[in-house]
Amino acid sequence: MLRHIISILIENESGALSRVAGLFSARGYNIESLTVAPTEDPSLSRMTILTSGSDEVLEQITKQLNKLVDVVKVVDLSEAAHVERELMLIKVRATGKDREEMKRMADIFRGRIIDVTESTYVIELTGASSKL
């Protein structure tokens, strides 16, 4: 079971997400994570799906996605050299002596504190998923 990141360019129509999500559930494929947003051309959306499966399953996933009438392009990013980053925004309670410790931890892992209240921090972290 290998992990694959599939990037889909799809017509930005209502229901586009349900076509893709429905295909995965109807055919028993996994979705571990999924993001969707319009591209610089607002008539198109980019979907990035993290999935897993054998080579045969991945071949079918790609073929079935290509078969969807609204799909313009499907690329398995894991097939070539690529960079993976995850972004985490985390809100933590930061009071008393923990408040100072929290700040130090954020610095060590190159996290940035982007919002502060009397009792909380919001920390922004980026990196590979294993680090996060």
Which residues of the chain form contacts with another protein (CB under 8 A)? 10-11, 14-15, 18-19, 22, 26, 56, 59-60, 63-64, 66-67, 69-72
| Min CB(71)–another protein separation in Å | 6
Residue 60 or 120 having the CB closest to another protein: 60
| Min CB(107)–another protein separation in Å | 47
| Min CB(21)–another protein separation in Å | 10
Residue 70 or 124 having the CB closest to another protein: 70
Q: Give the whole-angstrom CA distance, residue 94 versus residue 44.
A: 42
| Min CB(87)–another protein separation in Å | 29
Q: Give the whole-angstrom CA distance, residue 111 versus residue 125.
A: 5
Structure token digits, residue 26: 């109807």
Vertex 43, ends 24 and 57: CA angle to 5°?
Answer: 20
Residue 19 or 99 having the CB closest to another protein: 19
Residue 11 or 124 having the CB closest to another protein: 11
Q: Closest Cα partner for 6 from 69, 82, 70?
A: 82
Q: Give the whole-angstrom CA distance, residue 131 versus residue 110.
A: 11
- Is the Cβ–Cβ distance between 12 and 42 less than 8 Å? yes
